[in-house]
């Protein structure tokens, strides 16, 4: 039942493995670490990669294959590899493609663990990273050196919800012969398909909106088949592969991605509009609010605004902490993209080890609050935020 002209939702639902003799409707879970060979010749040909078949679940498994096939269709990619987490995807993708002496140009605001990898670990192998300011895209090319191999970015960014012009990145990557890698975790392929704008590889933490129910960790890289082959060979050797169970959960999750995202985005826009008119809020950042500095770019490259809203509470660090303490419905948790609304205060938690200047360089002010808007009845979410914003002095 496969057809390349199917729509996004149909691909997410109907891209599946062939049925077994039991004619099951829903794809079963293949909990097996290895697969058997018919005879010595079959084994030889399989290891020689003359056959496209499963050998060992560190290499591939029917459930991880189903998950990869679905995400490839949804992102418009020709190949992919599934990982145990988003960070395994980020690390293995870069480690497979880079060598000592290579250089990365990255957007200044990237996921915290990615940032630590760039500044604390890659330099050990003589791989340096330069950061461009998201608000000064005209300076990107000035960071490119003859050793630059990778252009890396996230959009929307975490936690400040800045937007980077993917078309511009695609043009720069092409002109300088760089591999453009986009972390598309905040948007998902339903809202944004970076390959359309020139990305060679798209990485995801499937832990977030792809699962969307806070259950499993997972990651995936999809894109250009030749690059994916290099990533596959590195990964089947080093072992960051996704477990069949998590792949099975994630494949089912993808079937409801579009419908979940529609509601996530609708709720997030309502939350953003509520916050924007609140007297105790200084500034709200949501890609589909007209006041967002990169609103036009968001309109060009995103279908909807996503589920993350960032805002600046009046009163700085102290006010941010008090606000979190007063929340009754919303959860305090490091995850995002869950059915449950989650609120974080980066300056006192994830980014507390940075100095004020370092935080400001990545748009994290002391009063910045990040809301991952969930799927609860939106009036209940807004009522909780409202009572927590209320100041009785």
Ligand X SMILES: *Cc1c(COP(=O)(O)O)cnc(C)c1O
Interface with ligand X (CB under 6 A): 85-87, 90, 111, 113, 154, 158, 183, 185-186, 205, 207-208, 217, 219
CB of 226 to ligand X, least distance (A): 24
Which residues have C-beta within 8 Å of that of residue 51, sequence separation ≥ 6?
42, 45
- In the bound state with ligand X, the residue whose beta carbon lies nearer, of 158 and 294, is 158
Alpha helices in the chain, H assignment, sequence order = 8-14, 40-47, 62-75, 86-97, 112-116, 166-176, 188-191, 225-238, 244-254, 257-276, 295-301, 316-326, 356-361, 378-389
CB of 242 to ligand X, least distance (A): 11
Cα dist. 305→156, 195, 246, 380 in Å? 9, 19, 28, 21
- In the bound state with ligand X, the residue whose beta carbon lies nearer, of 11 and 301, is 301
- In the bound state with ligand X, the residue whose beta carbon lies nearer, of 11 and 241, is 241
CB of 52 to ligand X, least distance (A): 28
- In the bound state with ligand X, the residue whose beta carbon lies nearer, of 183 and 366, is 183
Instruction: Give the burial string for 91-128 (b: 16+ CB within 10 Å, else e).
Output: bbbbbbbbeeebbbbbbbbbbbebbebbeeebeeeebe
CB of 112 to ligand X, least distance (A): 9
**151 token code pair:** 């252009």
**101 token code pair:** 């002496």
- In the bound state with ligand X, the residue whose beta carbon lies nearer, of 59 and 83, is 83
CB of 89 to ligand X, least distance (A): 8
CB of 134 to ligand X, least distance (A): 14
CB of 253 to ligand X, least distance (A): 14
Q: Are 7 and 190 in contact (CB under 8 A)?
A: no
Selection from 209, 299, 220 nearest residue 263 by Cα: 209
Q: How far apart are CA 114 and CA 357, in angstroms?
A: 20
- In the bound state with ligand X, the residue whose beta carbon lies nearer, of 140 and 220, is 220
Which residues have C-beta within 8 Å of that of residue 377, sequence separation ≥ 6?
none
- Closest-by-Cβ residue to ligand X is 86
- In the bound state with ligand X, the residue whose beta carbon lies nearer, of 86 and 287, is 86
């Amino acid at each position: 039942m496969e057809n390349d002209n199917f729509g996004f939702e149909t691909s997410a639902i109907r891209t599946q493995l062939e049925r077994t003799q039991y004619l099951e409707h829903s794809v079963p879970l293949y909990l097996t670490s290895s697969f058997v060979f018919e005879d010595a010749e079959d084994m030889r040909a399989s290891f020689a990669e003359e056959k496209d078949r499963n050998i060992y679940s560190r290499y591939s498994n029917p459930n991880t294959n189903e998950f990869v096939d679905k995400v490839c269709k949804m992102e418009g990619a020709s190949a992919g590899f599934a990982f145990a987490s988003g960070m395994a995807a980020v690390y293995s993708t870069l480690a497979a493609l880079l060598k000592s002496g290579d250089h990365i140009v990255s957007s200044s605001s990237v996921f915290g663990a990615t940032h630590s990898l760039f500044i604390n670990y890659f330099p050990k192998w003589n791989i340096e990273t330069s950061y461009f300011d998201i608000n000064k895209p005209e300076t990107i090319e000035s960071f490119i050196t003859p050793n630059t191999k990778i252009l890396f970015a996230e959009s929307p960014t975490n936690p400040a919800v800045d937007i980077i012009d993917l078309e511009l990145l695609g043009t720069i990557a092409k002109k300088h012969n760089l591999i453009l890698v986009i972390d598309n975790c905040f948007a998902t392929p339903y809202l944004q398909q970076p390959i359309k704008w020139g990305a060679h590889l798209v990485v995801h933490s499937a832990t977030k909106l792809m699962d969307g129910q806070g259950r499993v960790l997972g990651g995936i890289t999809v894109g250009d088949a030749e690059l994916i082959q290099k990533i596959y060979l590195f990964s089947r050797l080093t072992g960051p592969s996704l477990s069949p169970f998590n792949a099975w959960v994630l494949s089912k999750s993808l079937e409801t991605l579009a419908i979940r995202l529609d509601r996530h985005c609708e709720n997030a826009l309502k939350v953003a509009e509520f916050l924007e008119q609140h007297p105790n809020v200084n500034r709200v950042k949501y890609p589909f609010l007209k006041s967002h500095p990169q609103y036009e770019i968001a309109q060009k490259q995103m279908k909807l605004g996503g589920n993350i809203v960032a805002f600046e509470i009046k009163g700085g660090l102290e006010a941010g902490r008090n606000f979190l303490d007063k929340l009754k419905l919303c959860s305090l948790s490091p995850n995002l993209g869950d059915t449950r609304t989650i609120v974080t205060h980066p300056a006192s938690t994830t980014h507390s080890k940075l100095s004020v200047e370092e935080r400001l360089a990545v748009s994290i002010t002391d009063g910045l609050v990040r809301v991952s808007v969930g799927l609860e009845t939106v009036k209940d979410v807004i009522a909780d935020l409202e009572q927590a914003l209320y100041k009785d002095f």
